[in-house]
Amino acid sequence: MTSIHDVAEATGVSTATVSRALRGLPNVSPRTRELVRAAATQLGYVPSPSASGLSGGRHHAVAIVIPSTARWFYVTVVEGVDSVLRRENYDTFLVILAATATDRERLFNNALLRKRADAVIALGIDFTAEERRELRTVGMPAIVVGSPVRGVRSVGIDDLAAGKLAMDHLLALGHRRIGHLGGETEWGMDHSVGQDRSQAWRSALRNVGIEPEPHWYALGGFLMPPAKAAALEMLASEQRPTAIFAGSDEMAFGAMLAAAELGLRVPEDLSVIGIDDHDWSESFGLTTVKQDPRDQGRVAARSVVDELSGAEEVTDRVTTAAVTLVVRRSTAPPAGQSEPDGRTSTRPPG
Amino acid sequence: MTSIHDVAEATGVSTATVSRALRGLPNVSPRTRELVRAAATQLGYVPSPSASGLSGGRHHAVAIVIPSTARWFYVTVVEGVDSVLRRENYDTFLVILAATATDRERLFNNALLRKRADAVIALGIDFTAEERRELRTVGMPAIVVGSPVRGVRSVGIDDLAAGKLAMDHLLALGHRRIGHLGGETEWGMDHSVGQDRSQAWRSALRNVGIEPEPHWYALGGFLMPPAKAAALEMLASEQRPTAIFAGSDEMAFGAMLAAAELGLRVPEDLSVIGIDDHDWSESFGLTTVKQDPRDQGRVAARSVVDELSGAEEVTDRVTTAAVTLVVRRSTAPPAGQSEPDGRTSTRPPG
DNA sequence: CTGAAAGCGCTAACAA
DNA sequence: TTGTTAGCGCTTTCAG
């Protein structure tokens, strides 16, 4: 395990100079720097993060915490985060965090956050006031991906607006009986994402004078299987909706699968729209409100890296990521109305 | 940042004793141990991994490397790994590794593997001889999840057997024209998983005297969208297969979606079988060869943790995980043959 | 521009 | 059973 001493010896300079040279600090003669660099690569030297972390206080690692690996959004953000972190030579700690209080407590009392990572990127977590205070105290850069959290930087879409975009599309098509597949809210998790999207559904309906019926709303937990089950029930009802707005594409897939199982054609008998633009949505022919989680991950990572590099308070407190409507084959005017254009209606892919 | 000194002072013992007491080492009086423990929690002390890593050589972290986040198998294994690592108080480094040589080189020359992690768990990676030697040299425990790799411990299913199970099911149903959706093989990645499953398909066919036709085989890259595209093409051919064996459930979903798009009913017009038992397979009604990646992850993590705990060469070199056939609604005898039982055939969920 | 020295927080002999 | 003494490998003043 070659150490900084070996490089110093090989070069004939002090370890201090080696350290400076390798980290690109000023006040090192070009010649010396080159010599040191050459020796380092020649010897296959890499600095020990433990040692530099201990002495310098920077660990060159950031923790990314997600509630589960089961949702496309989370793992896709992780991929984005990882890509910039790797390029910047940071290592990535992955923390999969259940919603339980003990799990979260452990996280915050853990060495990981206190003495191991230089920053945290949290997904779908709603920090408590105390947690925020802790972060502040330790002076640890933190950013949330998802809906804004008071006092913490964040990047994410405007869920209300995204929901409105989806609903406007459905309403413009002529739908009035519109169902919704929403997410559940666990304590301290994902607080507003699901709520805001559901709220958008409710408001949009009321804005056109429709009071949403209870059985038009069901919980899909942001996962496909429970969403399918919920949709099955919703679609079995007497006055079933002519369209479903799902709070995520994965839940929308569930709706499409449910429709297929009931012999309902999409979009002839049922329109379906989601939010995300999941990697599979195009194959499903799903109309959706597209967001770019990979990019949000990159932005978040860039943000903490910049802050760690000393850039003074670079980013905005809350960065709003763009959304766009992507119309595919899962939405059309409700039965009885003529189609507005020549789109061919295919069989339901679900 | 309270340190071991604070605890020592508060307790009136030396730092060495604190260290011993907290780590549960022998030769500490029960009374002292209690005192130390109390002081530690009271002060909110947590040891610095950098410091103990530097002095002790154990970092209490393991690296898990995966080729991408886009495949259910990988992220699900990660979840299993993470769960036991967390319970054992290890932190998890996530490394997402492209197949490129430079990416892999960087991994091995990185501080991460050399001076930061105590062990590696690799998914879908085929270590080169040199890489294996490096691991050996550093004395770093390593385990592969997936198909066996020479000289490295591994846990995974028998892909040949899994493929045979799938094919036997289809053959027993009476299918003879059976197509296959296989995975691509990138350099150093996933070498045999895809190959073995494809091989199982080919062999099974030949064993019953059928020479697989070229257009019965297509590459799906282990991802749904390309698999769907491939299936679309395969099913458009004149003498299309009556059944498709997909190398993974995600690719099987693609086949089901393709069938639906072509107006083919599953299973009446086309049977589909996969491997995995993906979280969504039940909702798709997909017949599959079930494996348990979460558990494989747990086994892998347990294995390296045990080895790090000094257990001498505990686990077998290669652990074979179980597979079982799960029959659902996507398979049936080919058209023209009577159904063996009273299963109702539903519309294709894809 | 470079070196010497102190110290980051912990563990590991070696004594006591 | 417990304390003392060295480091682990690096960064960081402070001198020069």
For residue range A198-223, list pLDDT tens digits in order.
999 999 999 999 999 999 999 999 99
Mean pLDDT computed over A82-99 = 93
pLDDT at site B313: 63
Q: In the predicted model, is pLDDT for residue A3 greater than 80?
A: yes
Whether nucleic acid strand D comes within 7 Å of the CB of B20, the answer is: yes
pLDDT at site B188: 61
Calculate the alpha carbon distances from A77 to A67, A254, A258, A301, B83 in Å. Answer: 12, 22, 28, 10, 21
C1' of C16 to CA of A114 (Å) = 37
The beta-carbon neighbor of B96 closest among A79, A109, A110 is A79
Site from B91, B113, B248 to mutate, A interface, most A CB atoms within 10 angstroms: B91
> CA B265 to CA B251: how far, in whole Å?
17
CB contact under 8 A, B283 and A257: yes
Site from A50, A92, A109 to mutate, B interface, most B CB atoms within 10 angstroms: A50
Say which residue, B228 or B311, is predicted with more confidence: B228
> CA A116 to CA A53: how far, in whole Å?
8
Say which residue, A132 or B336, is predicted with more confidence: A132
CB contact under 8 A, A48 and B69: no
Say which residue, A186 or B43, is predicted with more confidence: B43
pLDDT band at B190 (very low <50, low <70, confident <90, very high): low
Distance of CA B307 to the CA centre of its chain: 20
C1' of C11 to CA of B132 (Å) = 30
| Range in A26-35, A43-52, A148-157, B123-132 with the lowest mean pLDDT | B123-132
> Does B159-292 match B1-47 at the fold level?
no
Whether nucleic acid strand D comes within 7 Å of the CB of B22, the answer is: no
CB contact under 8 A, B260 and A349: yes
| Protein fold of A1-47 | 434 Repressor (Amino-terminal Domain) (1.10.260)
For chain A, percent of residues with pLDDT exceeding 70: 92
Residue B65 host element (H or E): strand B61-66
The beta-carbon neighbor of A78 closest among B47, B69, B348 is B69
Total residues belonging to chain A: 350
Mean pLDDT computed over B232-253 = 95
pLDDT at site A346: 43
Q: Which of residues 145-204 of A touch B (CB under 8 A)?
A: none
pLDDT at site A106: 78
pLDDT at site B276: 98
Q: In the predicted model, is pLDDT for residue B257 greater than 50?
A: yes
Tell me if chain A has a CB within 8 Å of the CB of B112.
yes
Chain D: bases < 7 Å from a protein Cβ: 1-13
C1' of C13 to CA of B56 (Å) = 13
The beta-carbon neighbor of B350 closest among A75, A116, A349 is A349
pLDDT at site A150: 80
Going by CATH, does the domain composed of A159-292 fall within 3.40.710.10?
no
A93 beta partners: A63, B93
**By the 8 A CB rule, do B219 and B152 touch?**
no
* Residue-range domain boundaries for chain B: 1-47, 159-292
Mean pLDDT computed over A89-105 = 87
> CA A92 to CA A109: how far, in whole Å?
19
Q: Which of A306-320, B121-135, B205-219: highest mean pLDDT?
A: B205-219
pLDDT at site A130: 84
C1' of D13 to CA of B110 (Å) = 30
Mean pLDDT computed over A38-55 = 96
For chain B, percent of residues with pLDDT exceeding 70: 92
Residues B197-234 pLDDT 10s: 999 999 999 999 999 999 999 999 999 999 999 999 99
